Amino acid sequence: MTFTWTEKELNDEQSAAVREQDSVFLIACPGSGKTRTLTYKIAYELSRLTNQRQFVTALTYTHRAADEIHERINDLGVDTSQLWIGTIHSFCLEWILRPYAIYEPSLAHGYRIIDSYEQEKLLEELCRTQRGITYWDCEYYFIDEGYVLGCRDQNKHQRLHAIFEMYFKRLAENRQIDFELILYYSSRLIKSLPHIATVLANIFPWLLIDEYQDTKRIQYSIVAAIARAGHERTKLFVVGDPNQAIFGSLGGFAMPVAELRGLSGIQLNERALTGNYRSTDRLIQYFSNFTVQATQIRGAGEGRTFPSIISYNSSLHRDQLETELVRLIRLSLAQGVLPHQICILAPWWILLAGVTRRLAGALPDLQFDGPGMVPFSRDQDNFWFRLSRIALTEASPTQYVRRMRWASEIIGDLNSQNLNKQELSAKFLLRESNSIVLDETDGLSYLKAYFATLMDRLGISWQSHALLVEHYRAFFDSAEARIERLTREGGAYMGGIEFFRKVFQHRSGITVNTIHGVKGAEFDVVIAFGLLQGMVPHFTEEEDIDGGLSSAKKLIYVIGSRARKHLYLISEQMRMQPRGRGPYPATQVLGNCVFGYD
């Protein structure tokens, strides 16, 4: 039965995009129901599949986004057995590397993916061989011709190339690859063996891409190769907002529709979602000042006429910053805003760490949530991280569908390693997990005991399996290092099991995050500080042709478009630049904006 919906569920623009039977290039303004439209498109095309061997495939920027969309589709009552959804890295790993790695000489004798902690440790070790280079200089990404350094300081490039020569050699010696090499080898395979793209085109009648403006050229090329091999039988549904393309340092960019047409060899029909259901008219008027690509945005929400407060404070001394943040938080709470609807932003994590500790001390009755406070890495390809999701979530009806999906993924991992000797079912795995009762109060000790108990009950001798042993060591080494760092920064409670359990709970406290980390979220109140020239834009982007103007505009656009009701912007004075260059000035893009601030 074809999936249907009512006019109350989707507006005319959204419905037209969902029903479109040709490929779509969809520009979606902030708050326009992009995720809802994408979800309904997936549900609609799933319901119309007639071939049991085909899959509707959706590529998301994060695993969290994939989980959210998957759960929304389940809630719509649509069968998801023929849905594949995840990040481009996971897609390449499952559909290209695992089945075809034998044809790539560098992978033919086996490989292992290192997680972010192992990568950080290795790069930190290699950085010590080059004076003046730190791990934070080592961002890089691949294009088809090779790797590109993310560091914009040309004076460091020779030393960085020396580091990466050793880095890639070390990985090759250990038969290891990192997340960027997943893309590189996938691209090489799909170019050298064209039948791979043909096979995938026959499997995927629809390829949907979320947040296309954050996609790298090598990722566009992989998807385009599949679409091109399908000769219009494989359709693309590409959705995003070019004004939110803020991951340029990682290679992400908003490919123009004409270029994507040429790359994929298919026709893409341009459509737009122009109604913002999130923000008030005043907020839309404000953040529209910072668009870099002309797009139509109109207020469409019921609360569009709400009298938003939009303030910009460029006279606050740095020493008074925490006092002002506390005042704004208390003001918001007094206005009836719930803690989880308040967000505090800054351009860099280094600005947030100390501030968060002091806010927690000044407001002890409130909880503060942020990725930087998670006690272990979210490495989705690590077996033990995936199992920890089941260990740390409650066996409740509201979590049942999610935990069943996680259990199925665990069984898939065991099957791929020939460790499922009993033909486990997801229900049996969850039943065994739910029956485990432990008294451990330390988070790491709890997980170690849980893993040992569950594996014993399932009859799985994982200790003799090299890959799971490596994953186990990487998971706990990373967690111990993170907890040590968090504790050193003032979070003495970070190792407790209750803190661990919060990782997979819906957040209930005040969100603390970077501008990049909060993209896609929305809050009643957004408070942003550190809006300083050299941070917004980053000082390396000031060397761009436009002096970093476009980059700064996109960052402010993202900040402003997260807010539903109120927006507070702060460019604090006397935050000092390194090497004695004096205080950072306020970001120029805000100084140039003429607006009637409150």
For 463-497, how does the pLDDT look when each residue is reduced to its tens digit (9 = 90+)?
Answer: 988 888 988 998 998 888 878 877 776 555 567 88
Cα–Cα nearest to 34, from 68, 2, 84: 68
Residue 264 carries which side chain, given as an amino acid letter?
S
pLDDT of residue 493: 56
pLDDT tens digits, 239-282? 999 999 999 888 999 999 999 999 999 999 999 999 999 999 99
Q: For 93-244, where are the alpha helices, taking DSSP H only?
A: 98-100, 116-127, 157-173, 179-192, 194-203, 217-230
The structural domains of the chain, ordered by start, are 12-96+188-273 (3.40.50.300), 112-174 (no CATH), 281-370+507-591 (3.40.50.300), 383-503 (no CATH)
Q: Which of 122, 98, 123 is nearest to 111 (CA)?
A: 98
Q: Report pLDDT for 373.
A: 66
pLDDT tens digits for range 185-229: 999 999 999 999 999 999 999 999 999 999 999 999 999 999 999
Distances (CA, A) of 596 to 75, 285, 444, 571: 43, 11, 52, 17
pTM here? 0.90
Measured distance CA(108)–CA(460) in Å, rounded: 28
- 415-462 pLDDT, tens per residue? 887 887 677 899 999 999 999 999 999 999 999 999 999 999 998 989
Confidence of residue 342 (pLDDT cuts 50, 70, 90): very high
Query: What local confidence, expressed as pLDDT, does residue 452 receive?
Result: 95
CA 553 to the chain's CA centroid: 21
Q: Which of 163, 32, 195 is nearest to 99 (CA)?
A: 195
The tokens for 445 are 């000790």
The rounded distance, in Å, linking the Cα atoms of 540 and 526 is: 26
User: Tell me, what DSSP letter sits at residue 279?
Assistant: S
